[in-house]
Amino acid sequence: MSDVDPATPPPVLFARQPIFDASRRIVAFELLFRPTDGGPIPSPFDGERATSTVLLNAFTQSDLESVSHGKPLYVNFTAETLANELPFCNSQLVIEVLEDTPTDDTIRERLMALKAKGFTLALDDYTLPDAGHPFLALVDIVKLEYPHYDREGFQRIVSLLRHHFPHLRILAEKLENESDLTNCLEAGCDLFQGYCLARPQLVHGKPMTTDRLATLELIAALNQPEVSVQDITAAISRDPSLGVRLLHMVNTAQYQRRGSITSLYHAVTLIGTQRIRSLATLLALAGMQDKPESLQQLALARACLCRALTDHDDDLAEKAFIAGLFSYLEAFFDQPMHVLIGSLPLHPSIAEAVLNHRGPVGTLLDTTIKLENGEWNEIDWERLGALGIDAQSVSAANPSALRELEILQTTAGF
């Protein structure tokens, strides 16, 4: 008999409030932080934790389509969360820059980088009497806090924004009644949000563990197609325990160079960006405490075999290792594979390999899975032959993979 009381609702993931156009059609939703028990917002309020919780619960749910209905999702971002890599699809997420976000060069450069990646930016809770905010030229949407203005002041600010920044869509928020909505329509606003249209509704479900968003962010940062030594070093440095474990690994006999490797930058430059990315991704997945060791073992064994199949091409071998690890992402994150892969800035060859078993990397992954299943006769030897791999090489790959697996199990703490 279940111990769960059917009358008790599941935990709250977030609240969702629709955003409407002038025809009262829902065109987007804003996702708002709410405590899991549905109680009052805690004080003091931790904006960074709230944003991370909303992102985690919304974008790592397998039923994201039922949350968004195919429409953009607005989420508040603090200065701290703006600095993190975003392992989410730029067509789904609208980044709301909070009104108290510093307007310094660091934030400006980050916003420009997010724009370049295709994210839509919105400036939240706008209350200035003029169009002088330095971010207005960067954002796509400005959310005017309607109750802050009188009627004439509101019409004036809309007119100023239209004149100086014609590219902006203007969203009137916190509309309490039909009179508010009418005034905003007459002023020429594009989008509308408030209690007179729809109140926020709680969305219930099973919250994800808090380490998953950080892990996705790290994997996204590490596995960008074009990533510098500095970028890799910075990404690893954000997790001190990961950096320590990685340095321990590269100072073992398998990777040993002349003298000990004493810094992450030293490790990346000596070992190589591809291998360091593989090892760091491996350690990041190994750090997911809510997943069984058996899953980590299976992912690692597959990755090792993928890499062992080709020992004559280092670049292809490292991509194959990552593809082997990523073929288990669905099990690590409890989310459909196409959603996860679509949210990560992976090299196209890795994405195609994991999703469709296409290309040289896909050939290696497909071969590995067939070997795991004992399907020797189903292996596509013609595809392998095009990569210079024959039956003898495949036979030799298994013991080689087992040796590497044993070493990684010891040095990575699996």
Contact residues for 309 (Cβ-Cβ < 8 A; gap 6+): 320, 364, 367, 368, 389, 393, 394, 397
pLDDT tens digits, one per residue of 154-164: 999 999 999 99
- State residue 63's pLDDT score: 57
pLDDT > 70? residue 118: yes
**Topology of domain 12-204, per CATH?**
TIM Barrel (3.20.20)
Dist. CA 151–CA 145, nearest whole Å: 12
pLDDT tens digits, one per residue of 51-94: 777 876 776 554 566 778 889 999 999 888 888 767 677 888 89
Pairing verdict, β 141-145 and 93-97: unpaired
Helix/strand/coil for 352: helix
Q: Which is more confidently placed, 391 or 335?
A: 391
DSSP β-bridge partners for residue 257: 259
Domain spans of the chain? 12-204, 211-411
Average pLDDT, the chain: 82
**DSSP structure class, residue 226:** S
What letter represents residue 168's amino acid? Answer: L
Give which of 98, 84, 93 is closest to 58, Cα–Cα: 93
C-alpha 264: how far from its chain's center? 24
Element (H, E) at 322: helix 314-326
Give which of 55, 63, 53 is closest to 339, Cα–Cα: 63
- State residue 253's pLDDT score: 45
Element (H, E) at 118: none
Hey, what are 403's tokens? Answer: 């040796």
CA distances from 51 to 15, 41, 249 (A): 12, 13, 34
Residue whose token pair is 């969203």: 171
pLDDT tens digits, one per residue of 192-229: 999 999 999 888 776 655 566 667 767 777 777 777 77
Dist. CA 34–CA 49, nearest whole Å: 11
Dist. CA 358–CA 138, nearest whole Å: 39
- State residue 238's pLDDT score: 66
- State residue 183's pLDDT score: 96
The CATH code of domain 211-411 reads 1.10.3210.10
pLDDT tens digits, one per residue of 286-324: 767 667 777 888 888 898 899 899 877 888 888 888 888
If phi > 0 it is left, if psi is from -120 to 50 it is alpha, else beta; for residue 183 that is: alpha
Dist. CA 253–CA 378, nearest whole Å: 37
pLDDT tens digits, one per residue of 345-370: 778 888 899 999 999 999 999 999 99
